[in-house]
Structure 1
Amino acid sequence: MLVTNIRPWGRPAVDLEFTQGAITSVAPHTGARPGPGDVDGRGRLALPSFSDVHVHLDSTRIGLPFREHTGAPGVWAMMLNDRQNWRNTDIGIGELVVGTLERMIAHGTTRVRSYAQIDVDCKLERFEAVLAAKEKFAHAADVDIMAFPQAGLLLEPGTTEYLEEALKLGATVMGGIDPCQLDRDPVRHLDIVFGLAEKYQVDVDIHLHEPGHLGIYSADLIMERTRALGMQGRVTLSHAYDLGNVSEAATAKLIEEMAELDVSWATVAPSTAGKQFTLAAMAEAGVRVGLGEDGQRDYWSPYGNCDMLSRTWQLAFTHGLRQDEMIEHCAAIATMGGASIMNRSVRRLNGTGDRPGLEIGDRADVVLVDGDTITSAVMDKGTDRTVFHDGRLVADGLELCG
């Protein structure tokens, strides 16, 4: 397939050739018209397709009307609110998950790391819904599924057994959450998380909402296990809201250790960004950073619209960024930054000016979007999109193809 007249990362127009799922030619656009089976890019911007590395596909109300927010503060209270309400819909969980993933792909996301809540209430029901959606859209997106103990590992007997069953059935990431604040036994919590990850040879992703020094303590225990078990490059800290706000020395030490052990950071660009790691500091240190949408208009919050370009805007906005280089860096995080977390053979971003993913030999996962520059595309969140996965056209005009 030839994709003509596109501007990779806003550079001059070129024609891209895809062969067997890879970019095999990048040539200046000469004005030649596309042939049968080719695609006219119409001068649009080209980006690597988006990578949502922190989404709860099973926590979604996409396709349902907005509802009054009834959640109370705190992880446990919000979890109970979700538990009380998620089954009470006119559309079943399986159809909601499928619709959400379909909309994400149509907007340009072809790499997804999704949580699947597993506890003694839902058991494997939500995991199975995410697994079914993954299989349905295997031709259009890569989906990693995390066995995620949203209600903790230790508070309800039987949780660990359900998590292990999900790993046997195909989950590729083992999740954890607030080892100190929620389960109140960080050693036992992390022993289970890393024990199951080692047993099934899967990655680890820890939700860390814990504040200040408590969060640093949990992070230190996570680093300790990462080093002891030789799991460098297989661990992600998600959220980690407050770890950049303890002291300059503590933050610098943590970033240095994350870079050394190749521990990545997945953020959802919350409004508390002033307390988080600085994007430029993470890039300078070589820490992998990815972006995600979290829940989608669910029982936790009304936010989320399946559009990672919109979330890229949020990342730039909440970090107070104005310079073009840094806004483009946010787009790089939302695309190849996340891709490098899902697949560690994809190199991490090399500073804030690095714009990878659209060269010869790169995977042919590409999204075309309207805009004069990358910054204008992020600001305007254009809707004239065309999406390719493994060199195949999978979506156009915000609709899936075929």
Structure 2
Amino acid sequence: MSDLYITGVHPWGAELSDVEIRDGRIAAVHPAGGPAPTGVEVVEGDGRQLVPSFSDVHVHLDSTRLGLPWRPNDSPGGVWSNMLHDRAHWREGPVPMRERSTHMLGLLIAHGVTRVRGYAQIDADCKLERLEAVAAARETHAARADVEIIAFPQAGLLREPGVPGLVEAALREGATVMGGIDPCALDRDPVRHLDIVFGLAERYGVAVDVHLHEPGELGLFSLGLIIERTRALDLRGKVTISHAFTLAHTPPPQLDDVLAEMAELDISVATVAPPGRGTLPLTRLTEAGIRVGLGDDGQRDYWSPYGNADLLDRTWQLAFTNGFRNDPQVEHALAVATWGGASVIDPSVPALRGVDDRPGVAAGDPADLVLLDGEAPAAAVQDRLPHRTVIHAGRVVAHDLALV
């Protein structure tokens, strides 16, 4: 594995330093200006900020038109209606989904992502076709990023015949996370839906990720069932709630009780930083001990015209929707988008210890890093400049928004 010596960077805004990387990990952090070891590749830091690379924990790699000609968005709104709209059009693109997924994953990496948890839609229409596209993207970029694939029943598990069998086939053929979605609102049979989700997860020894758009008391009901199954099967650290909009609507002290249960079972949360009533109380989640990661969601697809595969843009959105103004708060959003997401994907990675925790750039940490242009970490989030260098496992994989 190539060794690196990074000169002149500010680790999380600290004093100017040189960083020595050996065997895929940070070996030492030195005061800037010393001699680089002989025979080592040198990366010029140019006074940039050094932070952990981004972790995209919620991205639909099989749902994108990035790189294709602009198509005016005509999505009808609503989970089921949008799903049907996507079903009617996703094959229409002039480029096959395999190439679109590979292109989009490359864009994520070029912008600073080296850890991905991505969805592959499984349903009665596409069967395993979209899984195959995401798997091809993972293989193409295997040296640039670590990718987990979620077998995701976007149209539910029960509304159409044969879907549980297809999802199980996806787990046999390379998916590493079992997905679920709105057990009450979509499938209208939460017990049966979650029995399938958790039953397959237990059978194949994989993690669980449940899309939970359900608001208010309905969402709390589904969340309660998920908590029960997590406890009964002892799946601590292996269950993620995506979106979790109900947590945005739950008042204290009820919210405190729910968060305490989630923290006890190490149930994590993936957010895409939605505005309005879907905005999660990020600081409260972190202070409660919840692992929280950030995702890009769908990227300019048949659901929505938004998205450019830049998780730094989404980090700005996370800070903005939470009303963060001072530098420590904005830096916390950046910590969630980088190290926080890594801890969601891999529960052996320590969770953020609080809003002031800035891990990932010390000796012994993995050399999955990104150099961001800016006078301070918060400035890098605000300016989102293109002069970036992306390092995965001690190797430069992208520079200035282009893959290496």
Shift of 1:376: 0.8
Asked whether 1:60 is paired with 2:64, we answer: yes
Which residue number corresponds to residue 198 of structure 1?
202
SS for the counterpart of 2:360 is coil
What's the TM-score, normalizing by structure 1?
0.98
SS for the counterpart of 1:384 is coil
The residue type equivalent to 1:338 in the other structure is G
Which residue number corresponds to residue 181 of structure 1?
185
Which residue number corresponds to residue 32 of structure 2?
29
The residue type equivalent to 1:147 in the other structure is A
Which residue number corresponds to residue 293 of structure 1?
296
- Separation in structure 2 between the aligned mates of residue 22 and residue 200 of structure 1, nearest angstrom: 31
Asked whether 1:318 is paired with 2:321, we answer: yes
Asked whether 1:364 is paired with 2:361, we answer: no
Equivalent of 1:98 in 93, 97, 102: 102
Q: 1:344-363 residue pairs with structure 2 within 5 A? A: 344-363=347-366
> Are 1:5 and 1:31, in contact at CA under 8 Å, matched by a contact in 2?
no
Asked whether 1:331 is paired with 2:334, we answer: yes
Percent identity reads 57
- Separation in structure 2 between the aligned mates of residue 2 and residue 197 of structure 1, nearest angstrom: 42
Deviations 1:331-365 (A, max 9, x none): 00000000001111100000000000011111000
Deviations 1:317-344 (A, max 9, x none): 1111101111000000000000001111
- Separation in structure 2 between the aligned mates of residue 281 and residue 44 of structure 1, nearest angstrom: 30
Which residue number corresponds to residue 48 of structure 1?
52
> Are 1:244 and 1:276, in contact at CA under 8 Å, matched by a contact in 2?
yes
Equivalent of 1:164 in 154, 164, 168: 168
SS for the counterpart of 2:343 is helix
> Are 1:244 and 1:251, in contact at CA under 8 Å, matched by a contact in 2?
no
SS for the counterpart of 1:38 is strand
Instruction: Please list every run of at least 4 consecutive aligned residues from structure 1 whose deviation after the TM superposition is greater than 3 angstroms.
Output: 31-36, 274-277
Shift of 1:246: 2.8
Deviations 1:262-313 (A, max 9, x none): 00010000113x5543111111111000000000100111111111110000
Shift of 1:34: 8.2
Asked whether 1:153 is paired with 2:157, we answer: yes
Q: Which moved more, 1:113-122 or 1:32-41?
A: 32-41
Asked whether 1:123 is paired with 2:127, we answer: yes
Where structure 2 has 5 or more consecutive residues not aligned to the other structure, the ranges are none
> Are 1:237 and 1:263, in contact at CA under 8 Å, matched by a contact in 2?
yes
The residue type equivalent to 2:93 in the other structure is T
Shift of 1:242: 2.9
Which residue number corresponds to residue 380 of structure 1?
383
> Are 2:178 and 2:209, in contact at CA under 8 Å, matched by a contact in 1?
yes
> Are 2:215 and 2:249, in contact at CA under 8 Å, matched by a contact in 1?
no
SS for the counterpart of 2:197 is helix
- Separation in structure 2 between the aligned mates of residue 387 and residue 43 of structure 1, nearest angstrom: 15
Which residue number corresponds to residue 234 of structure 1?
238
Shift of 1:247: 2.3
Shift of 1:170: 1.3
- Separation in structure 1 between the aligned mates of residue 324 and residue 202 of structure 2, nearest angstrom: 39
- Separation in structure 2 between the aligned mates of residue 324 and residue 214 of structure 1, nearest angstrom: 36
The residue type equivalent to 1:113 in the other structure is R
- Separation in structure 2 between the aligned mates of residue 168 and residue 290 of structure 1, nearest angstrom: 27
The residue type equivalent to 2:358 in the other structure is R
> Are 2:372 and 2:387, in contact at CA under 8 Å, matched by a contact in 1?
yes
SS for the counterpart of 1:65 is coil
Shift of 1:32: 4.4
Deviations 1:15-72 (A, max 9, x none): 1111111111111112647866211111111110000000000001110122121211
> Are 2:51 and 2:369, in contact at CA under 8 Å, matched by a contact in 1?
yes
- Separation in structure 2 between the aligned mates of residue 206 and residue 99 of structure 1, nearest angstrom: 26
The root-mean-square deviation of aligned C-alpha atoms, in Å, is 1.1
Deviations 1:109-128 (A, max 9, x none): 00000000000100000000
- Separation in structure 2 between the aligned mates of residue 51 and residue 213 of structure 1, nearest angstrom: 31
- Separation in structure 2 between the aligned mates of residue 246 and residue 355 of structure 1, nearest angstrom: 29
The residue type equivalent to 1:320 in the other structure is G
Shift of 1:252: 1.2
Asked whether 1:112 is paired with 2:100, we answer: no
SS for the counterpart of 1:46 is strand
SS for the counterpart of 1:86 is helix
- Separation in structure 2 between the aligned mates of residue 219 and residue 252 of structure 1, nearest angstrom: 14
Deviations 1:206-262 (A, max 9, x none): 000111000000000000000000001100000012323132122111111111110
Equivalent of 2:216 in 212, 217, 232: 212
SS for the counterpart of 1:244 is helix
In the comparison of the two structures, how many residue pairs are matched?
A: 400
